[in-house]
Amino acid sequence: GDSILSIQVLARAREAGLRMTGKDLFLHQTIAELSRVVEAGDDGAAPAAARGPVSGDVALTPAQRWFFATRR
C-alpha cells in the first residue's frame, strides 16, 4: 500500500520538476514539512544526467557486469 503510493507520489513530483527522495516522504509526512525540504532542494541526490543521444563507448552498469559475468 504505502510503498506503491510513495512511488506514485515521487513519480508525479519528478514530472512536476520537484526533486525529493522516498526518505523525504517518510521523514516529512505533512505537505508543509515536505514543501520546506523540496523548496530547499536538499534531497541529497545527485543531479539527473542529461538526456539525449549517446555516442561512443558507454560503460556497463554494475548490474550489467554481474549479469554478463554470471552467464559465461
21-68 per-position pLDDT tens digit = 888 888 998 988 888 888 655 455 555 566 677 788 988 888 899 999
Query: Band of the pLDDT at 70, cuts 50, 70, 90?
Result: very high
Domain count, the chain: 1
pTM above 0.85, yes or no: no
User: 20 is in which domain, residue-wise?
Assistant: 1-45
Q: Is residue 10 part of a domain?
A: yes
Q: Is residue 61 part of a domain?
A: no
CA distance 61 to 54: 15
Q: Is residue 72 part of a domain?
A: no
